[in-house]
Structure formats: structure tokens, C-alpha cells
Amino acid sequence: MQPLWTDRRFLLFPAVTLLLISTLPAFAQRGGAGSSGAGASAGSASPGNIGGSTGTRGNTGSIPGTNTPFPNSTTTNPDMNRPIFLSGKVMFDDGTPANTDIRIERVCSGQPHLESHTDSKGRFYFQLGQNTMVDTDASDAMMTPIGTPNQQGNGQWASSGRMSGLGGMGSGLFNCELRAAYPGYRSDLVELSTRRSMDDPNVGTIVLHRLQNVKGTTISVTSALAPKKAQKDYEKGMQLASKGKFDEAEEHFANAVDLYPKYAIAWYALGQLQARNNKGDEARKSFENAISADKNYVNPYNQLALLSAQGSKWEDAASYSSQVISLNPVEFPSAYWYNALANYNLKKGDLAEKSARELVKLDTAHKYPEAESLLAQLSLDQGKYPEAAAHLRSYLALAPNAKNADALKQMLLKIDQASAGQQK
């Protein structure tokens, strides 16, 4: 949902990554372990803490997030003037016929950008960076909703706008890949970082692999039914938002939903802007309206989970994130983090652990090292010191530059001492 906008830390929560250790025995707590950073109390009488000063259970952990949706992130590089053209074909591994709704996306540093769509036979051909249309209907919105990592999951609302001169040495495509996108399917990836303007444009066949147990979509079926005027208002709103003209964009989104109250993606876009402007109640209502318009449209559920976590409404955060996981257990890793945090704060350790472990398995790009920190805390709560130490080491390996890394290393020594004492 990386911290929704450049930093990965959600501003409402302290920038901590490890929770309060409440179960270390007294001999393992000597040396001032109780105030090494920012953290939260798990309710014990004599806690030591990983990450910081004692707080309340309601402030445990951190919600990865970024600073603002709709950044104007159009990439330009005047040193690269030759365009790159790409062509290829998309096919489904289960024999499903190709269609014109398959998106071709460029993903750079986790940020998805719509480049083109396939034709009725699954073919595509386009100039990289040529598409100037920005949209939130699918993974552009899914990948980086407010409060999630700039990855999947489900990055920023970045402009898919024209990138002058992508090509040449290819440095403008550093950490970039090409993929197809279609609800309920996982795409093969085509590496773009080494591609040059004079290369053969044909990237071959991209295969879409069907995902199991995916009921929800990141594309709303209501969009095709919107009247032309409503669609124009929505598209204009997206264009204005990509240029940083958020107030004008909000007016166009509002006009779109007035014209077509079942316009789910327009409600979602409106909610994003309202959340950006700290209009939490209005944003919540817009996301709820998006769900009313299309109950299988997953994005607004995830945003409601985030808003609920922001307000420490843990029951709501657990409920909404559970609905995301039920509808789409693959494409929204942020939902597992919200669910783990919510259940931890609700003192439902088993459920928190389940979601945190699922997140670790799903997060192959290691965008959520905080999951390891939570698992360390949960292991300590159960007196499982070797396992806690293993999770803490994993966290430090994934986040070696954490602000409290030195303090955490000292805490790790204390956990190892506790583990050694436990084995005697």
C-alpha cells in the first residue's frame, strides 16, 4: 500500500519498526534496554523495548506509507533522445481467449505505468512512454494506494505521462520491467533496463498465469457503463491530478460521480484526493460509495483499512483488511500488514502472526521488513527467544540502515542471552 509517498513511514504513527519486548526475563533487560527508540507497550509490568520508549499498545508498529498521492512523477532525461518501440503478444496459460482489456504496463522501481492495451488477438505495439493518459483503474492505483509500499501492492499514483527520449543508453529504464496486467492473473516479466533503441522491438510472448482464489478485481466493471460526459470528467480529473492541480481535479471527480453515481473508480479517485487533503470522513464516504457501486472492486476496501488503522479503529482495520485478503489474497500485501497490526493491537496474537507470516511469504521484494519485527515481538511474547532472534536478524538484514539499528543490535544480544539462559 513502500511508505505511500517517498518515505514508507506513515506520518500518523511513530517511525518505528520493532515493537515492545514485554517478555524478556530480568537478566536480559539490564543495561537500559527500556528506552532505545520509539515503540509501544504490550502491557507487561517490566518491559524492555525494541525500537523505543514505552507507549500504548494502540501505537505499535508502523504503517508504510508515502507522503502524497498523485505526485507529478513524469520522467524526463534530455540526454536520451531516441524512442524505444516494443511489440509482442500476450496469452493466457489456461487457454482463455485474449481480449482488448489486457493492459501492458511498464513497472519502474515498483511503480506501474500504463503503456498500452492488447488488441483482440493479444498483440501489442507501442512507443515506450508515449501514453500520456493517467488512470487509477487497475494496478496504477492498486500498486501504491495511500499507505502502502511503492512496489505490489497493490505504489504511488504516478503519472503514466510522456517520458521524453526514453532510449539511448537505457539508463532511463533502470530497474524497469514490462508486464501484462489482467484481474486474477500473474504476468511474466520482461527486463527493460538493458534495452536500447536499436534493439529488436519484439519482446516475445508474455504469459498470464491464473491466480487461485482471487474473487475481487482491481478493475471496476462499472467503468464501461459510465456516460461519455462522466468519463471525460474522470479523465480530466486524472490529468489535472497528475499535474498537481488537486482542487480542480477533485471538482471533476465530483462531477463524474454526480453524473454516474455507480462510477466506482471515480469515487475511489475522489477518495484518494480527499484523503490527501486530510478530509478523512469525506474520503471514507467516497470509498464506501465505491464499494457500493462495485462490491468486487478491491482498492477501496484497502484504503478503508488504512484509514481505520490511521484512526486506531482496529476492529474496522481488521475487518476491511480481511475483506481485501478474501477478495484478492495475492495482489495487496499491504492488507496483510494492516491486518497484522490491527490484530496485534486487538491482542489477537494468533491472527496477527498468521497475517505477518503470510506477508513475509508474499513479500518476495522485501518491501515490508516490518513484518519481521512484528514476528520478533510475537515470538518474544511467547517466550520463543531463538525464533525472536531469527526474526530480528532478518529485520536488520532487510533494514540495515534503520534509525534504531544500533539499539536493535544491542537488544539482539540480550535476546541471545535470554535464549542461552533458557537452554541451560
Q: Do 238 and 138 touch, CB atoms closer than 8 A?
A: no
What is the model's pLDDT at position 28? 34
Residue with cell 509490568: 45
How far, in Å, CA of 276 to CA of 286, rounded?
Answer: 13
Q: Is residue 103 part of a domain?
A: yes
Q: Is residue 188 part of a domain?
A: yes
| 421 has a pLDDT exceeding 80 | no
State residue 98 phi and psi, 5-degree precision.
Answer: -65, 160
Nearest 5°: the CA angle 253, 318, 140 is: 35
State residue 351 phi and psi, 5-degree precision.
Answer: -70, -40
Integer angstrom CA distances of residue 13 from 223, 284, 320: 35, 19, 19
Q: How confident is the model at residue 418 (pLDDT cuts 50, 70, 90)?
A: confident
Q: Is residue 164 part of a domain?
A: yes
| 146 has a pLDDT exceeding 80 | no
How far, in Å, CA of 259 to CA of 251, rounded?
Answer: 12
Q: Is residue 158 part of a domain?
A: yes
| 164 has a pLDDT exceeding 70 | no
- 3-class DSSP state for residue 338? helix
What is the model's pLDDT at position 111? 66
| 357 has a pLDDT exceeding 90 | yes
Q: Which residues of 80-97 are buried (b: 16+ CB within 10 A; e: fewer)?
A: beebbebebbbbbeeeee
Q: Is residue 417 part of a domain?
A: no
Q: What is the DSSP string of 352-414?
A: HHHHHHHHHHH-TT---THHHHHHHHHHHHTT-HHHHHHHHHHHHHH-TT-TTHHHHHHHHHH
What is the model's pLDDT at position 175? 75
User: Domain containing 182: what range?
Assistant: 85-210
Q: Do 134 and 74 touch, CB atoms closer than 8 A?
A: no
| Least confident interval from 49-58, 120-129, 194-203, 294-303 | 49-58
Q: pLDDT tens across 311-348, in order?
A: 999 999 999 999 999 999 988 899 999 999 999 999 99
Q: Is residue 249 part of a domain?
A: no
Q: Is residue 205 part of a domain?
A: yes
Q: Is residue 96 part of a domain?
A: yes
Q: pLDDT tens across 66-94, in order?
A: 333 444 444 444 435 688 999 999 999 88
| 385 has a pLDDT exceeding 90 | yes
What is the model's pLDDT at position 318? 98
What is the model's pLDDT at position 150? 32
236 Rama class: left (phi>0) / alpha (psi -120 to 50) / beta: alpha
pTM equals 0.66
What is the model's pLDDT at position 62? 55
Can you give the CATH number for the domain in which 110 is found?
2.60.40.1120
Q: How many domains in the chain?
A: 1
Q: pLDDT tens across 228-255, in order?
A: 999 999 989 988 887 889 999 999 999 9
